[in-house]
Amino acid sequence: MRKMAPLLIVFLTLSMFAQSLTVMATTKDQLVETAKTYIGTPYHYGGTTPNGFDCSGYINYVFEQLDVNLPRTTSGLYQEGTSVSKSDLEVGDIVFFNTFGSGVSHAGIYIGDGEFIHASTSRGVTTDSLNSDYWSPRYLGAKRVTETEPEIEQASLETSRELEPGEYRDVKENHWAYDEVLNLSQDDVIHGTGDDEFGVNGDLTRAEVASLLVRANDLSAEGKNSSFIDVEGHWSAKEVAAAEQAGFLDHLTGERFKPEEKVTREEVAVMVANAFDLEANGQNGFTDVTQVHDAYDEITALKEHGIINGYDDGTFRPNHTITRAEFAIVLYKLMN
């Protein structure tokens, strides 16, 4: 047995090393996925939320989702971590630029293949190439913060703690929708996607919205039959039938419901206004939802009741999809 001990130690060491590599790879995938969730979010000087970001506010927000706390300013970020050469860049490294004057004035997150994601002053959150004609001559350097902040690995390893009712591993206490998700889950209105995950950044489907509105209104779905020919056998068939008969789906025409189609912010506004009998009394102020818009009244009603907000640039973006976390906030406001 003593002769086997060194082999056992080597095996355990290799196993732990392999697990560490897996954790790091998984965490970096999560970082990129989280960062890309906010593509299209407008630039807002001093912004630190999905309503609008500046470059360092965006980086802070993304890393906070993985429990990594960083300095608030770009110059502060430049003092963090370990310097890495451009040829050794890894996913998750923070890249820095001089866009005017001297010194660091802009930063983004490296996402691989020579690309980085950042909050651009002209286009909001977007991706660009480090080797582009604009960014290449302005590149200053990069810092690696994931190795000096063990929390980023600990966040992925934290699977042993028993969750409280209504908690999910991808909706931590510092998440902007934590309270809403927790309360709705505890009230059995919303559920996760499995494996203790809520699917916080996943887009909602038409079937999911219909089902959530039925639950929120405490409607019985038993014994209901839908006129839509494509919901028979679908998990949401009874809820869709209940939503249809309650008038939540009056905006739809034709014989197909398309239960797996991703819903837009516009359609959510229509379904919610129908479900909660919300009416408009004034104007919404959105530059991209004028009075000729088909869903003008419904969007205006939700704005007037404080259920939805637009973006800092004055738009509502009716054709954008809505995530599960965003709809949780809408639903919570409606029910409270």
Q: How far apart are CA 46 and CA 61, in angstroms?
A: 12
Q: How far apart are CA 80 and CA 93, in angstroms?
A: 11
Q: Report residue 323 as tokens.
A: 């995530």
Q: Report residue 202 as tokens.
A: 């996943």
Point out the catalytic residue in the list 44, 106, 175, 305.
Answer: 106
Question: Coil, strand, or helix at residue 4?
Answer: helix
The identity of residue 110, as a single letter, is Y
**Can you list the alpha helix ranges (DSSP code H) found in 217-264?**
237-245
Point out the catalytic residue in the list 44, 55, 234, 293.
Answer: 55
C-alpha distances out from residue 296 to 147, 277, 301, Å: 49, 15, 9
Q: How many beta carbons lie within 10 A of that of residue 98, not counting itself?
A: 14
DSSP 67-99: T----SSHHHHHTSSEEE-GGG--TT-EEEE--
- HSE toward the beta carbon, residue 87, CA cutoff 13 A: 0
User: Does the annotation mark 234 as catalytic?
Assistant: no
Contact 67, 154 (CB under 8 A): yes
Point out the catalytic residue in the list 118, 175, 251, 305.
Answer: 118
Question: Coil, strand, or helix at residue 58?
Answer: helix
Q: How far apart are CA 197 and CA 324, in angstroms?
A: 12
Q: How far apart are CA 59 and CA 109, in angstroms?
A: 7
Catalytic residues, by residue number, are 55, 106, 118
